[in-house]
Amino acid sequence: MSIDSNTVVRVMFSDRTTLLAFIWTLVRDVHVAEDIFQDIVMEAMAKAADIEDTDHLRAWIRQAARFRSIDHMRRQTPVARQLDDDVIDLLDEQFVELEQADSSDLLEALSHCLGHLTPRGRQLIEMRYGQSMTGKQVADQMGQTAHSVYVAMNRIYRRLAECIHRRLGSDSIGRANHP
């Protein structure tokens, strides 16, 4: 038995925030993330007859988001700046866990976890996302190499992910010694 287009729309838009966050994490451009999301909605509508149920739909959405994002990165991003496949796999696993979480719970957890970053960590996040600076711009502003900023940001991302998962009650990463 297949699902109908109303179910596709309901699921796509109930999972919209989490899906956009996942796509944005890969492509780092809110407009591109929105374009990819819209393309996936249209394709899911066209494939509704081939999709068995909402679990099948969500799995298909994750794969479509992943493949379209990777395709975009390969076309737009120099190889040195692409995410490693292991990182993408980790993000995909986290997306599966987070897709059922309430977005207000996610925002509360993120706010809490940002408060536990070091002042330097908060400064890096503010520069990168609050001021929309590139990693290179952050490095130049702080008088550091782009590589050192990249390493620091990766540590911050991992720490935030671990903290958020603990706040939401899913310690799949298994590091309980961080805030």
Better-scored residue on pLDDT, 73 or 81: 73
CATH of the domain at 7: 1.10.1740
Residues 71, 3 share a domain: yes
Residues 166/126/16/94 CA torsion (nearest 10 deg)? -30
**Which band of pLDDT confidence, cut at 50, 70 and 90, is reported for residue 171?**
very low
Please tell me whether residues 76 and 118 are part of one structural domain.
no
* pLDDT-derived band at 83, boundaries 50, 70, 90: low
Same domain, 38 and 67: yes
Tokens at residue 126, please?
């503010």
- Tens of pLDDT, residue by residue over 85-119, are 666 666 666 666 655 555 667 777 888 888 899 99
Based on the domain organization, do 106 and 174 belong to the same domain? yes
Residue 95, in any domain of the structure: no
The structure's pTM equals 0.48
Is the residue at 92 inside a domain?
no
Q: Same structural domain for residues 43 and 12?
A: yes
Domain enclosing residue 69, as ranges: 1-83
Regarding whether 166 and 110 lie in a shared domain, the answer is yes
Q: What does pLDDT average to over the chain? A: 79
Query: Per-residue pLDDT averaged across 127-131, rounded?
Result: 78
**Tokens coding 2:** 């297949």
Give whole-number Cα distances, 88 to 22, 32, 43, 58, 140, in Å. Answer: 10, 17, 22, 17, 27
**What digits encode the pLDDT tens for the residues 138-167?**
999 999 998 898 889 888 888 888 888 888
Same domain as 79, residue 8:
yes
Domain count for the chain: 2
Burial grade of 86 (CB within 10 A; 0-12, 13-18, 19 or more): exposed
pLDDT value of residue 84: 61
Kindly state whether residues 2 and 79 are assigned to the same domain: yes
Question: Is there a single domain that holds both residue 17 and residue 67?
Answer: yes
Q: Residue 8 pLDDT > 90, yes or no?
A: no
